[in-house]
């Protein structure tokens, strides 16, 4: 790596500074589309939808209009945080008994029986209708242009596309729509998606109803039924997003907001509460003691996640108890500073692939926004001639009787995608996310600690080497020192080195001292933060 003439030598990029508006996403073309909306007089919410729509075209393995979305919003008009749950539900015909009768013991990971109703388009419409100033036609135009005229495939996306080739080859529709002569596009190759362009044009002209109550839903449902799936027109027709009260906790003077269950944001907050009971001033960053502490705290918070988080309309989590400082202290006392713990259970009894983006505008409206198909290319189903890849969130359900997330008709599964929004002194301070399935709470906490406890700027905080705990062991990035590696082995951790499981960070910090915007974007992705 070349030496940097200034700043942290371990960081590969500078912080992006701007006075008026900023967009951070995993693709430069998408960030530029959002910035275009801001320059044309749109606000952060208009720009977010434009950015998400372009991402749906240029990162089809990560996101799309066949997926789900969540958003945390701070609107300067009412000066409060609002939360939007734009996740879809299981088909009304989807029952545990139906799957068992077909010989399944688990919901398939991909394919026609892994589908849930797409929630993204309705979520986009809600953002625009409640907070935006521009029309669907205006904000979708950049995405339509890239789908119709083509775009050059970026480096990391080309690699991920290639890894998804076998799934896309399983059906004619996916193969014809998302491969070029049976192969994934190479880096720099121009890829066009005319089918998706036509679908986006219909949404631009007719809004959400064009997707949920018109020809698009009809064509998707007819294809799914023909192939033996359960998703029907009525599932589209009755779908609604939900504005919910956000949940939050404080950490040393900062207030972190998350979306309540069915999302896993509760896990991030509980993890922060547990860690607040420890003194980081005597721990070196990414030392064995530091990584061990966060990993052991993660085990506790994730045990509660697995035991409690589901669709609250079917099973209600004890959110207030789980987020209490007293409960966090009790859990913190279970951590042994010298030994890795196994078989961690919940502290109470019960009474993926994704894109993240964030936008701040000249008025300091802020949106933290995430959109996902779940795993790469979702279900692998591109329905009919719509060009729409459908998500495989059904995989999140269990077919086990009595399980918290057992499959039931019209149910939202436990959701991994979580945007984060941090306030300081009741004002927006930091909007960020770390995409990547179960990595998201772990990554969000690591980034926040990097900034608050170790004084890193937003780029350094998002770029610093990360670690991720799985049931099978602890993955560490190559930037973690050999001393830390050996120290973790001494504490009983099973370790492995990986390059591709640590998620992707995007973030904007609103500097209270200068009033300026500061952006960071993860070199683990192809994206950038840009402003004006």
φ, ψ dihedrals at 68, nearest 5°: -120, 170
**Measured between alpha carbons, how far is 264 from 382 in angstroms, rounded to an integer?**
28
CB-CB neighbours of 334 under 10 Å: 15
Burial state string for 22-48 with b = 16 or more CB within 10 A and e = fewer than 16:
bbbbbbbbbbbbbbbbbeeebbbbbbb
Across the beta sheet with 517-521, the strand order is 16-18, 517-521, 504-510, 427-435, 420-424, 254-258, 247-251
Which residues are registered as beta bridge partners of 497?
476
Between the alpha carbon of residue 409 and those of residues 89, 170, 219, 312, the distances in Å are 8, 27, 22, 14
Q: With contact defined as beta carbons under 8 Å apart, do 326 and 34 qualify?
A: no
> Catalytic annotation on 354?
yes
Q: With contact defined as beta carbons under 8 Å apart, do 163 and 195 qualify?
A: no
Q: 78 CB contacts (<8 Å, ≥6 apart)?
A: none
Q: Say if residue 437 carries a ligand binding annotation.
A: yes
CB-CB neighbours of 421 under 10 Å: 27
Residue matched to tokens 């004002």: 427
**Measured between alpha carbons, how far is 442 from 469 in angstroms, rounded to an integer?**
8
**Measured between alpha carbons, how far is 292 from 407 in angstroms, rounded to an integer?**
35
The catalytic residue among 63, 354, 358, 413 is 354
Which residues are registered as beta bridge partners of 242?
85
Catalytic machinery residues: 354
Binding site for L-glutamate, by residue number, is 437
The binding site consists of: 437
């Amino acid at each position: 790596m070349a030496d940097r003439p200034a700043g942290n030598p371990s960081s590969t990029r500078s912080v992006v500074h701007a006075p008026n508006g900023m967009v951070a996403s995993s693709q430069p073309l998408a960030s530029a589309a959002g910035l275009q909306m801001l320059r044309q007089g749109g606000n952060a919410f208009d720009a977010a939808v434009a950015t998400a729509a372009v991402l749906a075209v240029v990162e089809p393995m990560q996101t799309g209009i066949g997926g789900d979305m969540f958003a945390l919003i701070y609107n300067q008009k009412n000066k409060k945080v609002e939360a939007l749950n734009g996740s879809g539900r299981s088909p009304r015909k989807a029952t545990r008994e139906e799957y068992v009768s077909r010989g399944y013991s688990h919901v398939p990971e991909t394919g026609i029986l892994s589908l849930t109703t797409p929630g993204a388009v309705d979520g986009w419409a809600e953002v625009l209708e409640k907070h935006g100033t521009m029309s669907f036609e205006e904000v979708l135009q950049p995405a339509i242009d890239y789908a119709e005229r083509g775009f050059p495939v970026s480096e990391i996306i080309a690699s991920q596309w290639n890894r998804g080739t076998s799934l896309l080859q399983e059906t004619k529709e996916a193969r014809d729509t998302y491969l070029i002569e049976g192969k994934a596009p190479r880096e720099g190759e121009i890829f066009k998606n005319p089918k998706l362009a036509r679908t986006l044009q219909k949404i631009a002209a007719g809004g959400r109803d064009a997707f949920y109550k018109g020809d698009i839903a009809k064509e998707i449902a007819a294809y799914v039924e023909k192939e033996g799936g359960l998703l029907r027109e009525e599932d589209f027709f009755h779908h609604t997003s939900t504005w919910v009260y956000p949940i939050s906790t404080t950490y040393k003077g900062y207030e972190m907001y998350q979306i309540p269950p069915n999302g896993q944001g509760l896990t991030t907050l509980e993890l922060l509460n547990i860690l607040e009971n420890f003194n980081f001033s005597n721990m070196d960053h990414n030392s064995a003691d530091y990584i061990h502490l966060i990993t052991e705290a993660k085990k506790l918070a994730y045990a509660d996640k697995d035991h409690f988080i589901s669709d609250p309309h079917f099973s209600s989590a004890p959110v207030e108890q789980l987020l209490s400082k007293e409960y966090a202290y009790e859990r913190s006392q279970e951590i042994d500073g010298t030994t890795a713990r196994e078989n961690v259970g919940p502290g109470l009894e019960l009474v993926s692939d994704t894109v993240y983006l964030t936008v701040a505008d000249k008025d300091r409206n802020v949106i933290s926004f995430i959109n996902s198909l779940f795993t790469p290319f979702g279900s692998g189903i591109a329905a009919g001639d719509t060009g729409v890849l459908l998500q495989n969130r059904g995989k999140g359900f269990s077919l086990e009787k009595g399980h918290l997330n057992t499959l039931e008709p019209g149910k939202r599964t436990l959701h991994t995608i979580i945007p984060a929004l941090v306030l300081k002194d009741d004002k927006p301070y930091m909007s960020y996310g770390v995409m990547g399935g179960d990595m998201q709470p772990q990554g969000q906490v690591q980034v926040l600690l990097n900034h608050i406890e170790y004084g890193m700027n937003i780029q350094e905080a998002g770029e610093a080497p990360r670690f991720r705990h799985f049931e099978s062991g602890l993955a560490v990035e190559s930037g973690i020192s050999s001393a830390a590696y050996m120290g973790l082995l001494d504490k009983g951790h099973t370790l492995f080195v990986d390059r591709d499981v640590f998620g992707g960070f995007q973030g904007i910090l609103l500097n209270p001292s200068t009033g300026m915007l500061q952006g960071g974007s993860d070199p683990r992705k192809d994206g950038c933060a840009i402003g004006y």
